[in-house]
């Protein structure tokens, strides 16, 4: 099997960990976009208060998915689908998104790929500086997200979810570094992305998923 190159699935970290905003983005969202950011953020915040949060709703290759984690992902996907005019996601759709993230982490462990706490600190600091250098309008997405979550900006940068999502993003970079360094053309880059999607789908089909 080809190596799994995962640039295409960085978004999974943001989706399943509840971090829908990339700090330091250059383009500012319009009012409608911010409406959806607020809606998604509030939905995820409400999902955190679910009853029996530690209840196991599924297992992916033996790793449990808690009800709290599942409901947070569900809230995000429901709001995202509504925004795009799609029907509400089914349980299987939500589990699949979560499963793919777990599979990526497991594949990293199998290949001995890891991310240190120092690397996470450095990346977060880099993002924080980029955010601070951005014009006020360019900072609004993150401010809207934090407001909807009921947290201060300082809390966002030091939150566990921020560290977890940053760890995942750095992990996927290490997966893709070799392949992208050899990509010379747009077609090469497209192939890396396609291989990522194809290989991840294969690993998902092979995974043991228990409900």
| Burial category of 136 from C-beta neighbours within 10 Å (exposed 0-12, middle 13-18, buried 19 and up) | exposed
The answer to whether 40 touches 195, Cβ cutoff 8 Å, is no
Which class is 7-210 in CATH? mainly alpha
What pLDDT is stored for residue 3 in this prediction?
39
Query: 2-51, pLDDT tens digit by residue?
Result: 333 333 333 344 443 444 343 334 344 567 777 777 877 887 788 778 89
Sign of CA dihedral 80, 85, 87, 93: negative
pTM of the model: 0.78
Closest CA to 73 of 29, 131, 14, 117: 14
Q: Which residues of the chain have pLDDT under 70?
A: 1-30
What pLDDT is stored for residue 30 in this prediction?
67
What pLDDT is stored for residue 152 in this prediction?
93
Which residue is it, tokens 């949060």?
53
Count of CB atoms situated within 10 Å of the CB of 106? 16
């Amino acid at each position: 099997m080809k190596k799994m190159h995962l640039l295409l699935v960085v978004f999974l970290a943001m989706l399943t960990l509840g971090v829908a905003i990339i700090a330091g983005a250059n383009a500012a969202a319009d009012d409608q976009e911010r409406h959806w950011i607020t809606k998604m953020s509030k939905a995820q915040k409400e999902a955190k208060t679910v009853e029996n949060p530690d209840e196991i709703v599924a297992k992916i290759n033996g790793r449990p998915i808690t009800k709290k984690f599942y409901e947070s992902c569900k809230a995000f996907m429901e709001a995202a689908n509504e925004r795009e005019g799609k029907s509400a996601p089914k349980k299987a759709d939500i589990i699949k998104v979560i499963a793919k993230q777990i599979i990526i982490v497991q594949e990293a462990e199998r290949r001995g790929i890891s991310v240190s706490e120092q690397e996470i600190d450095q990346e977060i600091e880099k993002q924080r500086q980029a955010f601070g250098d951005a014009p006020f309008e360019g900072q609004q997405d993150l401010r809207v997200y934090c407001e909807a979550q009921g947290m201060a900006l300082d809390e966002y940068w030091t939150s566990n979810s921020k560290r977890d999502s940053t760890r995942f993003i750095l992990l996927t970079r290490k997966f893709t570094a070799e392949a992208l360094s050899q990509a010379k053309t747009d077609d090469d880059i497209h192939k890396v992305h396609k291989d990522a999607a194809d290989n991840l789908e294969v690993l998902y089909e092979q995974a043991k998923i228990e409900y």
